[in-house]
Structure 1
Amino acid sequence: MTPLHEGWTLRAVPGPQVPAGIADRTVPATVPGCVHTDLLAAGLIPDPYLDDNELALAWIGRTDWVYRTTFVHEPGDDERVDLVCAGLDTVATVTLNGVEVGRAANMHRGYRFDVRSLLRDGDNDLVVAFDSAYRYAEAQRDRLGDRPNAYPEPFNFIRKMACNFGWDWGPTLVTAGIWQDIGLHAWSTARLATVRPLVTLDGRDGRVELHVEVERVAAVPLTVRATVAGVHAEVVVPAGERTAVLTVTVREPALWWPRGYGEQTRHPLEMTLYAPDGDALDTWSRRIGFRSVRLDTTEDEHGTPFALSVNDVPVFVRGVNWIPDDVFPTRITRDRLAQRFEQAAGANINLLRVWGGGRYESDDFYDLADERGLLVQQDFLFACAAYPEEEPLRTEVEAEAREQVTRLAGHPSLVLWTGNNENIWGWHDWDWQEPLAGRTWGRGYYLDVLPRIVGALDPTRPYWPGSPWSGSEAIHPNDPAHGTTHIWDVWNTDDYTRYREYVPRFVAEFGYQAPPAYATVRRSIPDDPLAHDSPGMAHHQKAADGDVKLQRGLDAHLPPPADFDDWHYLTQLNQARAIQLGVEHFRSHRDVCAGTIVWQLNDCWPVTSWSAVDGDGRRKPLWYALRNAYADRLLTVQPRDGGLALVAVNETAQAWTGPATITRLALTGEPRAKTSVDLDVPAYSSVVLALPTELAGPDEVRAELLVAEAGDTAERALWFFAEDRDVDWPAAAWDATVEPVDGGQRVRVTARTVLRDLTLFPDRLDPAAQVDRALVTLLPGESAVFTVRAPGPLDPGALTSRPVLRCVNDLT
């Protein structure tokens, strides 16, 4: 394909909402790109991520926009020349040399137009005009009748990235533009329209069923030849036929495994389409992985499981939800995705769920997932609303689903398709049924259209109608005993200790909020003084009553903050503790629960949210808590049967054996009771050991803790008998030294008193600074070493004192 990415300009179609100075301007446009990034590059709008600038830019989504370029074309002998638009956002009319060649109304699919007869020798004028997404969606809503929605925006009436219209973690920035590649494809005789590799295992042999669709302009026989891992096959597509299937068997190939279970071996797949005279007409290639996927939903004594196996090995899902990493997708580079994937793997995550209010992720995203062994669950794009099933939306939904299932079928990392996010649950519990008054709401998509498409095009991996979904319309969709569940009473109404009241089969969403890193706050919010409720902070808190819920969490567990620095540290700490408690509890019941997917890994802008990595890519304390809670081998103390138990969880292929000690200590470090046990935890299993009364029952609730340690684990398990707000903490005291190391500094902290959740925040001194560990609790006399990486040396005194070095009991 010949790219058409150069020479584009952008202008607004005049209207009363367009600000003076922009209505009459034509600016250079970057393609692929979008209106917001072009206006930002031209200096015509402020950065929408800073302060409350987002509000002043609402007019962009209600404006029509025109992209234009002129390109030179030299006619050749090709029988067809197509204008290929991989992604148009969203309601577009495409004109070439004054003639309309086609229209688009779906951000989530590509378009191809035959333009050979319209091309001129020399200069050609190409125009892509975008109608306001708001106007289109509102017109569909008026025509079809309103549908319930979690937000007062019409995103459910247009096939566009829903979170462009704002979410409880995202800004309202309704985009338009040529957001993926555009170019000319010249061809003759025939081309490969689609290639759909269905990869399975037959015993130890790999089997690839290659479904090929050709587009042709000549009624001649064609030959398709394929090579997979050095094994060849070919098939003839008779004159007039458009489809063919090749089957290739590879004897005992090296398998593809999720990270932590084996190697991510991929094999080359190459395909060529030949004309009758033997000339190569088209080629297609990819690397594939041989692996099997099975989802066990066979009812048992606990209900309906939701248990994933890869290559017949059960995989306990240690997942996170993924949202678009930027409101403006073309700013998400492969390098940026690679950084996120490194952060995910570094936190011991093995699955990313691509959430249904965003997009079908990029080829780079899936290639990196294949490469790194991160499993992917891909939602179809429906979220938190009732969706009409009438035309023109139904045809668009079917077209995008067919295109995306075909595009992604060859990726070994993709293990599950999901029909929607929370819409079946919404129909049951969110007071939708009366206002719907019998109108369509999406059920036909989730239980008919999408399973038929997946069943026809990609039977190699499972489909699940929704998240959450119980497996049957006869059972409430969010029943924890059946299928997948979302737990949102925690955060919305209840304290995070309520997680312990659930023993679910699979938790696909649960989360807790905290502000972003301090450097991220300071970059994006100019408030002076900075406070949790100062104007900029309030604007970057999108959740309903978000600060009230944060305060409720602080009141339940922690000492009262004296200032913003305390509030920032404690809210980040409380987020980390909430999710660590939930994950460890669910993992401790791994005989019933087969996985957890935390809401959420990432952010799309600087905001107070549920993320572990903030909108500037900085790790919050939650990230470090996830790394501990998702460790391959987990030691945790859990309440059980009115007492306490030590639970050892082993997600490795080797048995975990060795001694463990559990000690009840005073905060001063003085032992009060102690026992030793021998751990013997088989591969992929857990062991629960009840603790004797002398350990589980303290003499002084406010002044004691339990410490559990196993010989071969780096982390220990702690249990405090009282909430921090009620503990008799000594005033924090420590000795600290700082010494240079390559690329940074090593900080050694030696405790003179107990230090609870000691954490370093070096980004307060340099926005580029990072630290290797956080949330470390030390007993008197113990030491911890933190390695800080920064572009230059940081002041040792500032690095080892408030507000950079913090612990809970420095508030006392």
Structure 2
Amino acid sequence: MTPRNTLLLNKHWTFKQGGRDAHSSAFPANDLPTEIHLDLLKNDQIPNPFNNLNELSVRWIADETWTYQTTFESPEDHGEPNVKTVMKFEGLDTFASVYLNGNLLLTSENMFVWHEVDVSEHLKTAHELNEVQLVFESARQKGLDLVKQHHEHRFIVHQTEISRGPVRKAQYHWGWDWGPILLTCGPWKPITLETYVSRIRDISVKYELSDDLKSAHVRCKASVDGPGNVIFEISGPAIHGSLKASTVSAQKSLPGQQTFELNDVHLWWPRGYGDQSLYTVQACSVDENGKVLDRSSIRFGLRKAELVQEKDAHGQSFYFRINNIDIFAGGSCWVPADSFASQISLQRYRDWVQLAAEGNQIMIRIWGGGIYEPDAFYDACDEFGVLVWQDFMFACANYPAYLEYLDSVRIEAVQNLRRLHNHPSIVIWAGNNEDYQIVERYGLEYDFEGDKDPQSWLKTNFPARYIYEHLLPKLVSEETEGVPYHPSSPFGNGKSTVLKVDPTVGDIHQWNMWHGEMKPYQLLPEMGGRFVSEFGMEAYPHVETIEKCISREEDRYPGSMAMDFRNKAIGHERRVISYVAENFRIRYDLPNFTHLTQVMQADAMAWAYKSWRRQWGSPGDRKCGGALVWQLNDCWPTMSWAVVDYHLVPKPAYYAIKRAMQPIVVGVARKLQPWMMRPADELWQRDTSHIDLRKNWENVKFDVWASSNRPESVDGEFIIKFISVRTGRELHPSLKIPAKVKANSTTEVVRDRDAPYASLQDPKRPFEIAASDPFVIRAILNVRGQQVASDVSWPDPIKYLDFADRELSVDVSEGSKIMVTAERPVKGFVIGERQGVKLTDNGLDVMPGEKLSIKVEGAAANNLEWRYIGM
């Protein structure tokens, strides 16, 4: 029999504007996969959409029809007896018609689905040329037409225009408050031609772990096209590339199925909790003589995943339990890594996940306005031990539920669930992003408690409830095993949305910092919930990134048209400057303002992660189960909430999260003073004359705690210092407090304790206090004589402090290392990172008597620049 052969149809494509019969000029396209903007750019037909104001000059592309074309030879074995020939289109964006040798082969209206067509009767004989044409109509225009056709539905969308509502296409292509409007189209995933007599189409692995998690009953199943008997083999597990021995025995065999009992199993663990053990199952299709007709394999991991939602003293819990271990899920939200997803290489995906993992991030939430990411992304999450919260692709809209739309969504969900269900990293599927916010804001019909009839939901003006609370959970249950489903992010049992945050139940998106009330980030400890799945603070990327995308020197200043155009967040001008002005002395040139925004964002992340991790509490008292910053990454070079920029260059906030998510951390915080308590909408209405801002430096009360994800308790000693910002001297002897840091819990060390302070007197007016001597509180945790964690509490706001004469010393004599010391406390020491440079830490505070060591890769340390607050 003929073995399976695959031909990748990726070369010699051309494209033109218009339909098949258009007489416009044809240009060479990129090798597939590709998208129209990339092909126009390749041929110098448009400027780079990522630079300057060029996004505006390419908007016309979205309203045109585009045709791709190539020729290929029929395979040698095409037409032989029993040989089937199929074409597979892994992704067509979005309204596509495919013609083969002039005949319509298929039409597609969903970017997220793949298509396969038997072309055995359509191809010419072996070695003859065939012509394939792909016609892509305007998704924007088709969307507008669908809105008119379905006048029975109330289309509502946030962020963008209404045309995206009925279109199953990456929603961020319409633009978002962090990304450009680049409505692209094209063959964004590979196209292949296959010939076979027998083939294995896909492999499914489902399993049940024993109660003690030491053995597993594994069921392997393969979908086979054509004749042949399937034989399965399980090997592994592989841990960091090396194989470990495993006992595997087949228990039962059925056509295309086999059952195994695995003993002494190696579990898959999140990063920091154990090994990322991955087994491999190989399926071989053989004929009656034992000849192999086809071979395929997948990897899978054995793990138990639970979403714990139990009544407790705080309401109802929301946290993850993996392999019977409670996990505080600190991490970030993920948007597509490029406006043109076809140009994200497999290595770039791996680099992103590795960066998150090295930053101690244990979870990534894939946001519902992007794409179902390729296998390479999830493979990397499996290998690095990063948990995945996976949204279905719905975001910030009132989506329809007419029959054709539901059929398309069903196919989309089933295909992606089947493709992804073997990845142990995926521990939750969520129905959408913020769609219940639309329900509340526009008063749509929604009776969570009273109406439990899914068919009735289709008759309301919120028919998508049928998708989120009936269709998708049903499909998740059928296609996966042991993966919980959550109707939306956020969702609190019909109580909690973006607009109405209920911190006692479900997950929340906390946008009363930055958006909403614009509360000070110092109030974040009071703004948590059972699980904070979105929150964020904006910052500029490093200056090199800005200079790459804004070419004119005269545009490189905060507030220029080019800079403001690039930042898509509504009201960003007022919000950024307000937060900077509340906390720092403003320096408005680009390098210094960039630095201030970065230190501000890092401070906000430190407050959030250390405070909400503190609320992790102890078993049975998990007040907060996780925190996911909005967002990890960008889809283009810009100023946004991302903690790492488009070029994979971390901002200081990335390192703040990294430090706060170490296995054991120590936290120190002052009791907030009245100036921080003022609601933003009352700033100009309240009499603040009674507030003595010196109180932020006097009569200070503080807390110290430790948070641990370690499986065992450790004995530690806490050192607490009170260091003058002005002189660098300790104002009081250090406190030394021995304490046991509890396993996988928070240990409260000091509660509401008074801190010392010293008053400065003017010698000419000895009876008046001229000013207080502001001080930092330094907390250090030593375990067995070694420092394992530290934290510092500054007297806010930083702008009132004098940072003259820091006597900072930066030693780069070793070439690959930067050593930093200071005689007086230094705030926000930031090295100007750039593409290709890798640091072990950044965005640090430097304390007297301590030496910071930062390793540098990719550049000589003496070629880097740095700055700090007040420099």
1:181 positional shift: 1.6
Indicate whether 1:174 and 2:183 are aligned.
yes
Q: Distance in 2 between matches of 1:191 and 1:790?
A: 46
**Does residue 506 of the first structure (1) align with residue 531 of the second (2)?**
yes
Distance in 2 of aligned mates of 1:696 and 1:377: 45
Equivalence for 1:681 = 741
Letter in 1 for 2:186: G
Shift of 1:740: 4.3
Which of 730, 740, 748 pairs up with 1:671? 730
> 1:150: which partner in 2?
158
Which position in structure 1 is the counterpart of 2:435? 423
Output the TM-score relative to the length of structure 2.
0.85
2:855 counterpart of 1:809: no
Measured after TM superposition, the shift of residue 274 of structure 1 is 4.2
Query: Which of 567, 588, 605 pairs up with 2:636?
Result: 605
2:707 counterpart residue number: 649
Is 1:206 the counterpart of 2:216? The answer is yes
SS in 2 for 1:67: strand
The percent identity for this pair of structures is 28
Deviation at 1:772, TM superposition (A): 3.2
Distance 1:346 1:430 in 2: 42
Q: Is the 8 A contact 2:17 2:66 kept in 1?
A: yes
Q: Which amino acid aligns with 1:615?
A: Y
Deviation at 1:280, TM superposition (A): 4.1
Tell me the secondary structure at the aligned position of residue 225 of structure 1. strand
What does the per-residue CA deviation read over 1:320-371, in whole Å, with 9 as the maximum and x for residues that have no partner? Answer: 1111111111221121122112211121111111111111111111111111
Q: Aligned-pair distance for 1:194? A: 3.7
Q: Shift of the alpha carbon at 1:749?
A: 3.5
Give 1:523's aligned residue. 548
Give the conservation status (yes or no) of the 8 Å contact 1:762–1:788: no
Counterpart in the other structure of 2:100: 96
Q: What residue number does 1:240 align with?
A: none
- Cα distance, 1:494 vs. partner? 2.1
Contact 1:702 1:722 in 2 (8 A): no
- Structure 1 position 32, deviation (Å): 1.2
- Pairing of 1:263-662 with structure 2 (within 5 A): 263-275=275-287, 278-429=290-441, 438-472=460-494, 478-492=501-515, 493-529=518-554, 530-591=556-617, 592-639=623-670, 643-662=701-720
Q: Which digits, 9 at most, give the CA deviation of each residue in 1:763-811, with x for residues without a partner?
A: 4xxx54444322222234544344444446745xxx5xxxx3211122x
Q: Does 1:776 align with 2:844?
A: yes
Q: Post-superposition shift, 1:119?
A: 0.7
Name the SS for the 2:165 alignment partner. Answer: helix
* Greater mean deviation of Cα atoms: 672-681 or 315-324: 672-681
With over 3 angstroms needed to count, the CA separation of the structure-2 counterparts of 1:693 and 1:366, relative to structure 1, is closer
Unmatched tracts of structure 1, length 5 or more: 238-243
Consecutive unaligned residues of structure 2, counting only runs of 5 or more, are 1-5, 236-247, 447-457, 618-622, 673-699, 760-770
User: Which residues in structure 2 correspond to 1:60-75 (within 5 Å)?
Assistant: 60-73=61-74, 74=76, 75=78
TM-superposed CA distance for 1:424, in Å, is: 1.5
Deviations 1:59-117 (A, max 9, x none): 11111111111111133334421111111111111111111111111111110111111
Query: Which residue matches 1:241?
Result: none
**8 A contact 2:12–2:28 mirrored in 1:** no
Matched position secondary structure for 2:398: coil
Alignment partner of 1:703 is 2:771: no
Distance in 2, matches of 1:341 and 1:266, equals 17
- Over the aligned positions, Cα root-mean-square deviation in angstroms equals 2.5
C-alpha contact 2:534 2:630 (8 A) present in aligned 1: yes
Equivalent position of 1:192 in the other structure? 200
Query: Are the equivalent residues in 2 in contact too, given 1:226–1:234 (CA < 8 A)?
Result: no
Higher mean alpha-carbon deviation, 614-623 vs 338-347, is at 338-347
Cα offset for 1:195? 2.7
**Does the CA contact (< 8 Å) of 2:670 and 2:793 recur in 1?**
no
Shift, 1:14, TM fit: 7.2
Deviation at 1:477, TM superposition (A): 7.3
Distance 2:124 2:807 in 1: 79
* Equivalent-residue separation in structure 2 for 1:775 and 1:6 (angstroms): 46
Change (3 A) 1:90 1:725: same
- Once residues 458 and 762 of structure 1 are traced to their aligned partners in structure 2, the CA distance between those partners, rounded to angstroms, is 42
- Summarize the Cα distance change of 1:727–1:82 in structure 2 as closer, same or farther, 3 Å threshold: same
Paired residue for 2:121? 117
Q: Which amino acid aligns with 2:811?
A: T
SS in 2 for 1:519: helix
Task: State the secondary structure of the residue aligned to 1:400.
Answer: helix
Task: Map Cα deviations across residues 413-444 of structure 1 (whole Å, 9 max, x no partner).
Answer: 1111111111123312366669x994345211
Q: Deviations over 1:728-748 (max 9, x none)?
A: 44344333433243xx4x333
Give the distance between the partners of 1:358 and 1:579, measured in 2 at CA.
24
Deviations 1:647-676 (A, max 9, x none): 100111232322111122222232223321
Q: Secondary structure at the match of 2:703?
A: strand
Aligned to 2:269: 257
2:172 counterpart of 1:163: yes
Q: Secondary structure at the match of 1:89?
A: coil
* CA distance, structure 2, for counterparts of residue 474 and residue 600 of structure 1: 21
Conserved? CA contact 1:321–1:598, under 8 Å? yes
The offset of 1:293, in angstroms, is 0.7
Aligned-partner SS, 2:799: helix
| Residue identity matched to 1:116 | S
1:279 Cα offset (Å)? 4.8
Q: CA deviation at 1:626?
A: 1.1
1:8 paired to 2:24: no
Assess, with a 3 A threshold, how the Cα gap between structure 1 residues 771 and 227 changes in structure 2: closer, same or farther.
closer
Tell me how far 1:308 sits from its aligned partner: 0.6
Q: Distance in 1 between matches of 2:854 and 2:254?
A: 64
Counterpart in the other structure of 1:754: 825
| CA–CA distance in structure 2, aligned partners of residues 473 and 197 of structure 1 | 37
SS in 1 for 2:397: coil
Q: Whole-Å Cα distance in 2 between the matches of residues 736 and 583 of structure 1? A: 29
Q: Is the 8 A contact 1:486 1:509 kept in 2?
A: yes
Distance 1:586 1:313 in 2: 19
Query: 1:92 touches 1:129 (CA, 8 Å); kept in 2?
Result: yes
Structure 1 distance, partners of 2:736, 2:335, is: 45
Counterpart contact for 2:558–2:588, Cα < 8 Å: no
Aligned-partner Cα distance in 1 for 2:336–2:662: 26
Q: Tell me how far apart the structure 2 counterparts of residues 317 and 422 of structure 1 sit (CA, whole Å).
A: 20
**CA separation in 1, counterparts of 2:298 and 2:708?**
35
**Equivalent position amino acid for 1:575 in 2:** Q
Match of 2:795 among 696, 716, 721: 721
Cα deviation, 1:248-268, whole Å, max 9, x if unaligned, reads 221121111111011111111
8 A contact 2:283–2:296 mirrored in 1: yes
- Paired with 1:441 and 1:726, the residues of 2 have a C-alpha distance of 54
The answer to whether the Cα contact below 8 Å between 2:542 and 2:833 also exists between their aligned partners in 1 is: no
CA distance in 2, matches of 1:158, 1:753: 58
* Contact 2:827/2:844, CA 8 A, preserved across alignment: yes
Residue-by-residue CA offset, 1:146-173 (whole Å, 9 max, x unaligned): 5111123222211111111111111111
Tell me which moved more, 633-642 or 491-500: 633-642
Asked if the contact 2:540/2:594 (under 8 Å) is kept, the reply is yes
TM-superposed deviation, 1:245 = 4.9
Q: Is the 8 A contact 2:812 2:861 kept in 1?
A: no
Q: 1:77 aligns with which of 73, 78, 81?
A: 81
CA contact (8 A) 1:54 1:173 kept: yes
The structural deviation recorded for 1:694 is 3.8
Matched, 1:223 2:238: no
Tell me: CA distance 1:729–1:6, structure 2 relative to 1, closer, same or farther (3 Å): closer
The number of residues matched between the two structures is 780
